Amino acid sequence: MTYIVNDACIACKFTDCVEVCPVDCFYEGENMLVIHPDECIDCGVCEPECPADAIRPDTEPDAEKWVEFNRKYSELWPVIITKKDPLPEAEERDGETGKLEKYFSEAPGEGG
């Protein structure tokens, strides 16, 4: 098992999760985070830290596509280990549906 970040993170990008990760397996895009599935040790400490409920185990229905999504972007984006402020629109976008189609950016974040 591994954990994945799904589209609930898009346009919010809360980073509470990165501070608790013992193996630094989070990667930062312009407007979301992903988890490298081969680096995640399945400890689960990140899941309750996410205010947007965007971190889920890969055993949930529909998670397989998110494992590959997380893998793809974790290989393109920089690692993030330091908590940052959420995106300015985070409160407004939290809980919104269809964010992958509406807002997703393939651009990398700054990392750090």
Query: Which pLDDT tens digit goes with each residue over 76-94?
Result: 999 999 999 999 999 999 9
Query: Taking the model in full, what pTM does it have?
Result: 0.96
CA angle, residues 31, 103, 28, in degrees to nearest 5: 20
Query: For the domain bounded by 3-84, which CATH number is listed?
Result: 3.30.70.20
Q: 38-65 pLDDT, tens per residue?
A: 999 999 999 999 999 999 999 999 899 9
Neighbour count for residue 102 (Cβ, 10 Å): 12
Break the chain into its structural domains and give their ranges: 3-84
